[in-house]
Amino acid sequence: MTIEENLKKLRSNYKEISQLSGIMALMGWDQQVYMPKEGVEGRANQMALLGGIIHDKATSEEFGKVIYDLVAEITDLDADDDLAREVKLTKKAYDRETKIPKELVIESSILSAQAHSAWLEAKQTDDYAKFEPFLKKTLDLTLRLVEFFKPYDHPYDVLLDVYEPGMKKVEVQAIFDALRPRQVEILQKIAASEQVDDSMFTKEFPIDGQKRINTFLTRLMGLPTDRTRLDETEHPFTTEFGFDDVRITTHYHTKQVLSALMSTVHEGGHALYQLGMNRDWMETALGQPISLGVHESQSRLWENMVARSHPFWEFVYPLMQMEFPSQLENVSLEQAWRAVNKVQPSFIRTEADEATYNLHIMLRMELEIAMLDGKLDTKDLPEAWNARMRDYLGVVPPTNTLGCLQDVHWSGGMLGYFPTYALGNLISAQWWDKLREDLPNTDEHLRQGKFDEILAWLVKNVHKASSRYDTQDLLQRVTGERLNPDHYIKYLSDKYQKIYNF
C-alpha cells in the first residue's frame, strides 16, 4: 500500500479508538456525577468490557502493520515534520499498549470502578480501612504492570511517562530538591511577617449565590455554553468525550466560598486547553494534549496568575459584594485580595496557597515511590502521610478525610500523576512572563473583565500546538528557553513581598 493508504487506515483506526475512549470517559464522568451508589458493579463490568474492546483495537496486528509500514517509509521519526511526528506518537502508544496483557486491562478497569466507590465511602465516613484493601490491590496491579516495561531505571519512570512523556523520576526529584529550599525561604519570610486575615471568606455563603458567581466566571473565561457544562462532584475534575464536549465539575462549601471559585477557574483552564486543540488534527495522535504538566500549566495559570491577581479582583470583587452584601459589605478590596492570597499551611491540596502547594505534591510523590519500593505498606499510609505533613507543612490532619483520603487519583490507579501538578506550576509562570511581555496591557484588560486576549494568546501559542512538540521543545519555541523554575520563584517572591511586606 502507498503511504497515503496506510495513513488513511492509521487515522481511521485511531479515530475509532478515540471515540471509544470518549464513551469510556462518559461512563467515568457519570459514575462520579450522577450514577446511583448501587450501580458500581454493573458499571465496573461495562467499563471492563469496553476497556477490553479498546485494547483489542489499539493492539491489533493489522494496526501494528500499518504503523510499522509507515515507520519503514519515514526515514527519520524525529524530523520536524507533521507526518513523522504523528507516526512517532502513534507508534509509541501502540508499543506501550501491546506490552500490557488484555486481562490486566480488564482487571484494572473493574478495580478502578470498585476502588472509586470504596474511596468515596471511606472519605465520607472517615474510614480508611474501607479503602485500604483497594489501594493495596491497585498498588499490586501497578507493580505487575510495570514488570512488562523492563528494563527501566525505576518503576516510577514507567508510570510518570504516561503523564509526562520522557521525564524520569530523578529529573523530577532534582527539580523538587532545588525548589524546596527556595520555597521554604519564602515561607520563612512570610511567617515572620504580619499575618493576613481571611475570616471574611469563612462566613456562610449561600450555595445559590456561589453557583451564579461560578457560572459567570466560566463565561468570562471564554467557556462556550454549547461545548461545555459545569456540574458538581466530590472531587473537582475535567473530562472530555469529544472535541466539542468537555465537562468540568466543582464542589461547593457554604463556609469556604473561595474553594469552589478557585476549583471552577482551575477546571475551566483545563477545559479551555482541551477546547483549543487544533481542529485540523482532531482524533489523530497530533490532536492530543502533549502532557499533564502542560495541561496543568493552563489550569494553574487561570487559577493563580489570573484569578488570584489584583487586577482580576478589581473587576470581580464588586460583583461578589453585590451577590453577598451582608458578608462582604464592610470588607475592602485590599483586604479581600490579601485574603485570597493568604499563606497558611493547610490540610487540603486543592485549597492550598501558592507558596505551600508544591510541598503537597512532593509529599505525595515521596509516598508513591515508598509504596512502589516496598518501603511503605498501604496499611501504614495514614501515619506516613501525617508524619510528612508535620515535617513539610507543620500541620497534622485530624482525620484521614482531611489527610490521605482527600484525593481521588489513587482510586483510579493514577500513580505517577501528582508531579505534573508542580511541573504545571513552574510552566505556568514561564508562559505568564512571556504572555505579559507580548501583551503589556494584560493588567488593564483584567481590570475591565476582558480575558479574550489572554485566551487568544494561549490558544495560538500553547493549545493549537496540541501534541506536535514535546513539552520542552514547546517551551523553547514559545518562551526561548526550556523549563526554568526561576520564573515561578520570582513570581512568588514578587507577589508575596507586596502582600506580606518583607
Q: Active-site positions?
A: 267
| 268 CB-near residues (< 8 Å, 6+ apart) | 217, 218, 221, 223, 248, 299, 302
How far is residue 216's CA from residue 221's CA, in Å, rounded to a whole number? Answer: 9
Count of C-beta atoms within a 10 Å radius of residue 369: 19
Phi, psi of 229 (to 5 degrees): -155, 155
How far is residue 336's CA from residue 330's CA, in Å, rounded to a whole number? Answer: 10
How far is residue 488's CA from residue 483's CA, in Å, rounded to a whole number? Answer: 10
Residue found by looking up cell 523538587 in the block: 176
Q: Which long-range contacts (CB under 8 A, 24 or more apart) does 65-69 make?
A: 66/6, 66/9, 66/10, 66/13, 67/10, 67/91, 67/94, 69/1, 69/6
Q: Report angle CA 438, 440, 441 to the nearest 5 degrees.
A: 130
How far is residue 334's CA from residue 60's CA, in Å, rounded to a whole number? Answer: 60
How far is residue 287's CA from residue 291's CA, in Å, rounded to a whole number? Answer: 12
Q: Specify the length of the chain in residues.
A: 502
Whether the link from the prior residue into 325 is cis, omega within 30° of 0, is no
List C-alpha distances in Å: 359 to 56, 286, 356, 386, 423: 40, 33, 6, 13, 12
